[in-house]
Amino acid sequence: MDGKLLQFLRVSEVAEILSVKESTVRAWLLARRIGRVRVGRRAVRIPLSEVERLIAEGSVPARVPR
C-alpha cells in the first residue's frame, strides 16, 4: 500500500468536511457515487481518498483575467 496509511471516515465526518447534510452523503452511497467499506452489518466507512476525489472533481479552476 505505498506506505500510506489508509484513513476512513464516518458519514457524519464526510458531511461536515463537504458542508452537506448526512442524508446527501447517504444518497451518494446508495447511488454508488462514492466508495465505501462496510464494517459490521450496518456501519460503513468512507476512505479519505474518496472525499479527496469528490473535492477534486468538484473543483473549478479560477478564471484567468483578460
Across the chain, what does the average pLDDT equal? 86
Between residues 57 and 1, the one the model is more confident about:
57
Res 62: pLDDT: 62
How many CB atoms are located within 10 Å of the residue 56 CB? 8
For residues 1-7, average pLDDT:
65
pLDDT in tens, 30-62: 999 999 999 989 899 999 999 999 898 886 666
Give the cell for residue 12: 457524519
Say if residue 3's pLDDT is above 70.
Answer: no
Point out which residues pair with 9 in neighbouring strands.
46
For residues 7-32, average pLDDT:
93
